[in-house]
């Protein structure tokens, strides 16, 4: 095999590998969005590699990342889970803190303040409640500081492509995490006569907490398999 051919084969293989990576990240992020309770069709989530290439190739064998961006709206069930319960003290509670989500695959070999600011402006302008930015490289520390600075307008989460190659919640050692609604949380605390701070904790930066987009103060129910009891549920308070 000549040198020329060798290089061509290598290039094609690298392109294929990159395509496969993007396809896997795409599937995981769709599963993530669906698991959080947004409405997505099965066809979108379970796209095959062939269909994926067919849909997003740019003609020269590469994938166009800009076309991979997508949006989703929360389902009624999700809105109900985030809603604030009506109580005597608070007869007209505030609207649930959820809304449409936008997922963006960011291009470029370095992501700085400018990119992050632009994304935040996009989200605010199109009135998206949440934004997920997926990058292939690390974001600079300064750019990450933009996220809390714009937290009052929009909620930004960031993921690395490398972290989305597999869906961690499908691993057999990761138990099922279920987010409790505010009513369920109140009932739980009532049942066990606890204060919320007396529950075991889970950090906001925990991989599963990041996957589910948990917020400080929420409680998750963790359902484990148990040899003796069949199923064993524990609860964790997000800090």
Partner 1 sequence: MATSQMPKSILKKTSYPATTTSKEDRDRELALYHAELIQQRKDIELEILLSTETLIDYPLATAPYDASNPSPADAKTFKNLLRPFQPGDYDALIVERNINERCGYTLCANSPRKESGGGRWRMVGKHGKGKDFRVVDKKELEKWCSEACAIRALYVRVQLSETAAWERGERGENTVKIELRDEPKSDSDTVVEGLEKLQLAGDDSTKKQDTAHLALERGERGPAARIGSVDVKILEKEIQRAPEAPSLEDQDLTERLDTMHLALEGHTTSFGSNRHRRHEEEEEDTDWKL
Residues engaged in binding partner 1 (CB under 8 A): 110-114, 117, 140-143, 145-146, 149
Nearest approach, Cβ of 237 to partner 1 (angstroms)? Answer: 22
Nearest approach, Cβ of 123 to partner 1 (angstroms)? Answer: 18
Between 117 and 221, CB nearer to partner 1? 117
Backbone angles phi, psi at 154, to 5 degrees: -155, 155
CB atoms within 10 A of CB 131: 24
Nearest approach, Cβ of 153 to partner 1 (angstroms)? Answer: 15
Nearest approach, Cβ of 142 to partner 1 (angstroms)? Answer: 4
Between 151 and 233, CB nearer to partner 1? 151
The number of angstroms, rounded, from the C-alpha of 15 to the middle of its chain's C-alpha atoms is 26
The helix, strand and coil proportions of the chain, stated in percent and rounded to the nearest 5, come to 45, 20, 35
Nearest approach, Cβ of 115 to partner 1 (angstroms)? Answer: 8
Nearest approach, Cβ of 122 to partner 1 (angstroms)? Answer: 17
Between 187 and 204, CB nearer to partner 1? 204
d(CA 232, CA 223): 6
Q: Which DSSP state fits 130?
A: E
Backbone CA torsion sign across 85, 89, 92, 96 = negative
Q: Which DSSP state fits 67?
A: G
Write out the two tokens for 37.
């309770």
Between 42 and 109, CB nearer to partner 1? 109
Between 91 and 148, CB nearer to partner 1? 148
Between 132 and 139, CB nearer to partner 1? 139
Write out the two tokens for 71.
């949006």
Backbone angles phi, psi at 52, to 5 degrees: -60, -45
Q: Please identify which residue in the block is written with the tokens 């084969």.
A: 9
CB atoms within 10 A of CB 5: 9
């Amino acid at each position: 095999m000549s040198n020329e051919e060798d290089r061509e084969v290598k290039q094609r293989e690298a392109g294929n590998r990159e395509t496969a990576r993007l396809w896997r990240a795409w599937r995981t992020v769709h599963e993530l969005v669906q698991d959080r309770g947004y409405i997505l069709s099965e066809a979108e989530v379970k796209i095959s590699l062939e269909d994926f290439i067919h849909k997003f190739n740019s003609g020269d064998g590469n994938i166009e990342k800009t076309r991979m961006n997508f949006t989703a709206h929360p389902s009624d069930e999700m809105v109900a889970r985030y809603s604030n319960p009506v109580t005597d003290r608070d007869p007209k509670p505030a609207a649930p803190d959820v809304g449409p989500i936008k997922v963006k695959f960011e291009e470029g070999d370095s992501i700085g303040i400018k990119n992050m600011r632009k994304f935040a402006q996009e989200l605010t302008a199109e009135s998206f409640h949440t934004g997920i930015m997926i990058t292939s490289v690390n974001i600079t520390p300064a750019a990450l500081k933009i996220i809390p600075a714009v937290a009052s307008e929009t909620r930004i989460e960031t993921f690395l492509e490398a972290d989305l190659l597999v869906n961690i919640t499908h691993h057999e050692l990761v138990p099922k995490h279920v987010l409790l609604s505010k009513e369920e949380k109140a009932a739980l605390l009532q049942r066990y006569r606890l204060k919320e701070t007396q529950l075991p904790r889970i950090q906001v930066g925990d991989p599963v907490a990041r996957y589910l987009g948990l917020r400080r103060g929420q409680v998750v129910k963790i359902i484990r398999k148990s040899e003796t009891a069949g199923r064993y549920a524990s609860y964790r308070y997000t800090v």
